Structure 1
Amino acid sequence: MSLQQKIDRITDILRRDDGISGAMHYTEQTSWVLFLKFLDDCESEKKDEAVLSGKDYQPVLDEEHRWASWACPKTAEGKLDLANAKTGDDLTDYVNNQLFPYLKGFANAAVTGSDPKSFAYKIGAIFQYLDNKVASGHTLREVLDIIDTLNFQSSAEMFELSMVYEGLLQNMGDAGGYAGEFYTPRPVVRAMINAIDPQVGQTIYDAAAGSCGFLVQAFDHLKEKKSALSTEQWDFIQRETFFGFEKTSLAYVMGMMNMILHGIESPNLFRGNSLTQNIRDIQEKDRYDIILANPPFGGKEKSQIQQNFPIQSNATELLFLQHFMKTLKIGGKAAIVIPEGVLFQTNSAFKQVKQELLENFNLHTILSLPAGVFLPYSGVKTNVLFFERSGGASDVWYYECEPEQKLTKNKPITDEHLKEFVELYNSRETTERSWTVAASKLAEDYDLSAKNPAKQKDAEHLAPSNILKQIRTKEKLVSGLLDEIENLLAEK
């Protein structure tokens, strides 16, 4: 049975439980059990490595709360120890009243003495916002037995796990109506990251992290260079590279688990609304080299939040754009998904933000995405802004992504649709799908929407006498048609 089949089986089991209602619940509950098995395998691997190198390893969890003690204890023959394996009410009581309080306690650094950047603290941060919702201990027993068959010490199985988990997150978003919050289509994410090409030693930030798809994909991008990295560089990637904020507790938990399950041992993800920060207080030391994000759009923020921004607006997309502009380091690069309205609206707030973007940032590329990229969550047309903090813009290169077939939920955007964009990104060539507009031209009205000149038909300028002849010819045609209709009516 493949990993995907095992996860599907778990989903079917959880659907029957009285405490589970919908995809969001069974994804959340599958996640914490998966995570604890992953943690146990990770601890075992580190212990084996320590033995080989002649060092001591102190496990994060104590003996009582390790997977092998409570979830699936084994006999000397390696089979499930039925005498000591909890089930039913005993299992539910242990998980709810002992295991979860113990795991939540890791987030209390004052009590545990754990470093907020440590793996132990991250475990506490995850379980701080989690509870066991599986009502039946017998149901949970079935789930534990299936997950116990997984081996996360295998690189192939870890890769498969990361892919399966991506699918769980997407299903949760689709079913719950939070696809934009939990899941940005990976071809879009990959195109943005491949274009910007983050380097080892740079910090990467997402202020609306959701399930951390951008940060995870950026990690995979950097991981490709692993064989050439020093121990110090790899440690920097693990502990000092990825930063993010997420407002909602469920997305925060999913995002933290997503990063750890992909191999980022100490992600700097924090729960909170990044818009509550007054951007006037942000200094260079608080900024990041790379910003990648798909912030919420269409939302509204109250006046108290708007006070944190020089250009006030209740539109979340405008506030996030200002936040990203302010948190980008000198020389830094950003790629931000925004709705079409940000480009064409020219009322006071929208115009001022775009003026700031053109005058003080190098807005050099706008990727126009097709409608339907975010279905079924939203049919709103979106774009990606690529800009750098390196002086004002001179020219803006546009690329219009236009699949031959209309995008739908079952026919989503693919890497192939964005392949040409990535290939042309650095050269910024002019093609049937790409063109360049002077920033000074855009500054005339601050309408930045994509208008492909290859599609603009040249107006035919006729002499006034010829225009008059055309009008008279059409009038005769109309008069003739009216006469025919009148004759037909008279015959009846």
Structure 2
Amino acid sequence: MITGQLRSKIDKLWEEFWTGGITNPLTVIEQISFLMFARLLDMRESTEEKKWSRKHKNKPFPGVYFSPDQQHLRWSQLRQEADGEKILKIVRDEVFPHFRHLGQQADQAGATVPQNTFNQYMKDATLMINKPTLLVSAITMIDALPLNQGDTKGDLYEYLLSKLTTAGINGQFRTPRHIIRTMVDLVLEGNHEEAISWTVGDPACGTGGFLVEFMQALREHFTSPQGIHVDEETGEKTYTGDLIEPAQWKHIKSEMYHGFDFDVTMLRIAAMNLMLHEIDTPDINYQDTLSTNFTDRKETQQWAEDAFDLILANPPFKGSLDEEDVHKTLTGKVKTKKTELLFLVLMLRMLKLGGRCAVIVPDGVTFGSSKAHKMLRQMLVEENQLEAIIKLPSGVFKPYAGVSTAILLFTKGGQTDNVFFFDVQADGRTLDDKRDKIGAADDWQDLDVLRKIWPKWNGGAGKKHFQDRTAQAFCVPKKELKENAYDLSINRYKEIVHEEEEYDPPKVILTRLKKLEAEIASDLEELEAMLG
């Protein structure tokens, strides 16, 4: 958890950019990401250098990310330079162009870093800092951050991302971390042993929050205190304890996660976010997953269909797309231009048979009356196993948006018998733009209730516990859903108990009013007497 002192350092760094003329939150985070990346790269180079020296004591280190004539580009050299103009020139004209060739250079040096990680992250990267004094201050402040501590650097970046307060033009906005964690816990319940071999994807990954939180949940579950090891030289933490095999950790940290986004800024931030959370080689792709290009492009064909064991997502809700650009396998299932519907069809296509999905959708998906809405809901209920509808209050995405949403949980294929409904009315935060915490920091109110009772549901086996429709959680049989045109809105099925109010007879109320008036008149006479 980020400490008050570290929080102050981040706030000060943020203010430094603000007063330096860079006020767009996304730009600030992107620029900080570039500089953090430069420092992390130097730390990795130092680790490779120490490994080399142990194996080749008398041979000079050839360099992995920096050749011998590029040593002046390393963070450890830049932080010692006092001339701001010189630092600005080196970073702008040499460091950034060098980043774009890192994948190829690391590959030639034999480092286990896939080319696309660096190439995609730094593609078209531009230094937006034009003031030498701002760059020097930023380097000094970032150098003081504990980036060598795996657990802290992840929290640090989450705090940076929390400063994003506006939605993108396509309706992208950051999903609150406790909502993501709730979704992760639901899909992992009873499945941890299987999950370590899953392939996990997010077709609209944004800052990578879902993939990061899934990694965190696995780490917490499988790592014992004895399994946490700290490298004496770098301070880097590794989690290869007695609860999981090193080979399995390798899959989790380098092969499990795959994200896609068509916003280049989000792409870079997501890659950095995952790298800072111990995901060594994040596969983050610059790709519009709804487009024809996603399915037909050689590099992404393998992910377009029957690829994932799990998909976690909060795709953009806003706007419509050019129908000609959307792949026919999507519009062939549901004739629509609405992104929220197309993404659901896409996720069904991307999942393996038996694969699961937890996704946030606008409320309209659950009750919309258009032909496309009805067809999609029918597809979820009749051709797949729709397991849960979790209604969220309309304020959970403020200050980005006030839209009312729900979480859908379903499995590709299978059979729907009963659907679990849960009404979240409070999530431990205020529902205004401030979203301040209510009570203890770890109190998630109704989300805690949901996570506690979810094991009782157990995929529908515990339906006997959820027959009371006046309760917060209840289930509805498939037959009833079908009779209601597959309407999935919780208000359609929730029963409201109205308590009849009892009032006194009018004469009793009148007598009481006369008595009150007499008491008031008496008090006024007493006050008048006191005033003489």
- Name stretches of at least 5 consecutive residues in structure 2 with no aligned partner: 224-240, 438-442, 458-464, 501-532
* Residue of structure 1 aligned with 2:156, choices 134, 158, 164: 164
1:418 aligns with 2:414: no
Does the C-alpha gap of structure 1 residues 142 and 92 become closer, same or farther in structure 2, counting only changes over 3 Å? same
Rounded to whole Å, the distance in 2 between the matches of 1:293 and 1:116 is: 32
What residue in structure 2 maps to residue 427 of structure 1?
456
Rounded to whole Å, the distance in 1 between the matches of 2:88 and 2:422 is: 55
1:288-312 deviation line (CA, Å, top 9, x unaligned): 0011000111221111134522112
- Name stretches of at least 5 consecutive residues in structure 1 with no aligned partner: 75-79, 461-492
Q: How big is the shift at 1:144? A: 1.0
What residue in structure 1 maps to residue 77 of structure 2?
73
After superposing the two structures, state which structure 1 stretch, 216-225 or 52-61, moved more.
Answer: 52-61
Does the C-alpha gap of structure 1 residues 426 and 180 become closer, same or farther in structure 2, counting only changes over 3 Å? farther
1:408 aligns with 2:432: yes
TM-score (norm 2): 0.76
What residue in structure 2 maps to residue 123 of structure 1?
118
Contact 1:398/1:435, CA 8 A, preserved across alignment:
yes
Q: How big is the shift at 1:438? A: 0.8
Q: How big is the shift at 1:371? A: 1.2
Letter in 2 for 1:60: Y
* Residue of structure 2 aligned with 1:135, choices 116, 130, 134: 130
What residue in structure 2 maps to residue 365 of structure 1?
388
Letter in 2 for 1:383: A
What residue in structure 1 maps to residue 212 of structure 2?
216
What residue in structure 1 maps to residue 35 of structure 2?
33
The 5 Å alignment of 1:92-491 reads 92-106=88-102, 118-119=113-114, 121-153=116-148, 155=149, 158-172=150-164, 174-175=165-166, 181-197=172-188, 199-224=195-220, 225-226=222-223, 227=241, 228-277=243-292, 286-308=306-328, 309=330, 310=332, 311-403=334-426, 407-411=431-435, 415-428=444-457, 429-430=465-466, 432-444=471-483, 445-451=485-491, 455-457=495-497
Letter in 1 for 2:137: E
Rounded to whole Å, the distance in 1 between the matches of 2:409 and 2:49 is: 44
Q: How big is the shift at 1:218? A: 0.7
After superposing the two structures, state which structure 1 stretch, 356-365 or 180-189, moved more.
Answer: 180-189
Letter in 1 for 2:482: A
Rounded to whole Å, the distance in 2 between the matches of 1:418 and 1:50 is: 49
1:146-183 deviation line (CA, Å, top 9, x unaligned): 22233433x3xx322222211221212x0566796351
Q: How big is the shift at 1:94? A: 1.4
Rounded to whole Å, the distance in 2 between the matches of 1:433 and 1:53 is: 62
1:3 aligns with 2:39: no
Contact 1:369/1:383, CA 8 A, preserved across alignment:
yes
Structure 1 residue matching 2:77: 3-state secondary structure: coil
After superposing the two structures, state which structure 1 stretch, 330-339 or 403-412, moved more.
Answer: 403-412
Does the C-alpha gap of structure 1 residues 131 and 69 become closer, same or farther in structure 2, counting only changes over 3 Å? closer
1:222-258 deviation line (CA, Å, top 9, x unaligned): 2221422222211111221001111110111111110
Letter in 2 for 1:424: I
Contact 2:199/2:308, CA 8 A, preserved across alignment:
yes
Q: How big is the shift at 1:398? A: 0.4
Does the C-alpha gap of structure 1 residues 119 and 112 become closer, same or farther in structure 2, counting only changes over 3 Å? closer
Does the C-alpha gap of structure 1 residues 90 and 342 become closer, same or farther in structure 2, counting only changes over 3 Å? same
Structure 1 residue matching 2:290: 3-state secondary structure: helix
TM-score (norm 1): 0.82
What residue in structure 1 maps to residue 67 of structure 2?
62
Contact 2:361/2:407, CA 8 A, preserved across alignment:
yes
Letter in 1 for 2:216: D
Letter in 1 for 2:120: A
Letter in 2 for 1:325: L
1:70-117 deviation line (CA, Å, top 9, x unaligned): 54439xxxxx74xxx1633322221121111111123569x9769998
Letter in 1 for 2:454: Y
How many pairs align? 445
Letter in 2 for 1:436: C
Rounded to whole Å, the distance in 1 between the matches of 2:218 and 2:375 is: 36
Rounded to whole Å, the distance in 2 between the matches of 1:439 and 1:280 is: 33
Structure 2 residue matching 1:73: 3-state secondary structure: helix
Does the C-alpha gap of structure 1 residues 286 and 328 become closer, same or farther in structure 2, counting only changes over 3 Å? closer
Q: How big is the shift at 1:279? A: 9.0
Rounded to whole Å, the distance in 1 between the matches of 2:112 and 2:289 is: 20
Q: How big is the shift at 1:327? A: 1.0
Rounded to whole Å, the distance in 1 between the matches of 2:410 and 2:111 is: 32
Contact 1:89/1:137, CA 8 A, preserved across alignment:
yes
Does the C-alpha gap of structure 1 residues 454 and 340 become closer, same or farther in structure 2, counting only changes over 3 Å? closer
Structure 2 residue matching 1:448: 3-state secondary structure: coil
Letter in 2 for 1:301: L
Q: Over aligned residues, Cα RMSD in angstroms? A: 3.2
